[in-house]
Homo-oligomer: A and B are copies of this chain.
Amino acid sequence: MDTKQRILEEALTLFSEKGYANVYVGDIAARVGIKAPSLYKHYKSKQAIFNAILAKMDERFMDQAKALNINGANPIPDAEIYKHMSEEKLLELGKSLFLYYLHDDYTQKIRKMLTIEQFKDKRLSDVYMEMYVDEPLRYQSALLGLVTAGGMLTTDNVDIMTLHFYSPIYMLLTMCDRDPSREPEALKMLEAHIKQFDKLYGRKDK
């Protein structure tokens, strides 16, 4: 078992629940199944553990950005799909986006940790915004742009349409992060939101 890796995982879990300052190195060690001083065989300090988590996050984020081809000339790999976007498909898209963000273990923990630690370090709030505001808006804008081009949605301002699509998702997400018991309620609202969105922006003659 890779202790060095385990330490990062358990530390991230704890940091995301209680924040850096409220987690003691002994807590991390206990969850890994060792004693606090043994941590220092793997990392120079508590801060170094935190830094390693961020480094790994950066790495993953870069990979993901590359995988999504966001910057490349070819924005969406399977563009054709989005030209024939039905209400059901839109619904599925929104729900899977929401549920992925909400339930993916790593993503959720990172998001919570960034939320807690963001005001300590501008770099963290920048990462948060890129991950949960700017990048989703950019990506979905490209996507909804295709749908619009395909004629399934109509607007003269794709960016605002994207804002209308995504911001409820974002708000419901922050709601469920704070209170997971409200997930069913959030899902109901999400569905109603997307149906309404489709009605508002969908072609009248659809």
Contacts and interface: CB of A to CB of B under 8 A. Distances in A.
Interface of A: 16-19, 21-22, 112, 115-120, 122, 125-126, 128-129, 133, 155, 157, 159-161, 163-164, 166-168, 170-171, 174-175, 178-179, 189, 192-193, 196-197, 200-201
Contacts of A174: 133, 174
Contact of A160 (B16, B22, B125, B193): B193
Contacts of A22: 21, 120
Contacts of A112: 119
A112 B120 CA distance: 11
Contacts of A159: 189, 192
A17 B119 contact: yes
B18 A193 contact: no
A178 B19 contact: no
Number of copies: 2
A119 B155 CA distance: 39
A172 to B, nearest CB: 8
Given A17-B119, A19-B120, 4 more contacts: A133-B171, A160-B193, A164-B196, A167-B170
A178 B129 contact: yes
A125 B179 contact: yes
A93 B196 CA distance: 23
- Interface centre among A119, A128, A193, by most B CB within 10 Å? A119
Nearest to A178: B125
A189 B160 contact: yes
B119 A179 contact: no
- Interface centre among A115, A159, A168, by most B CB within 10 Å? A168
Contacts of A179: 122, 125-126, 129
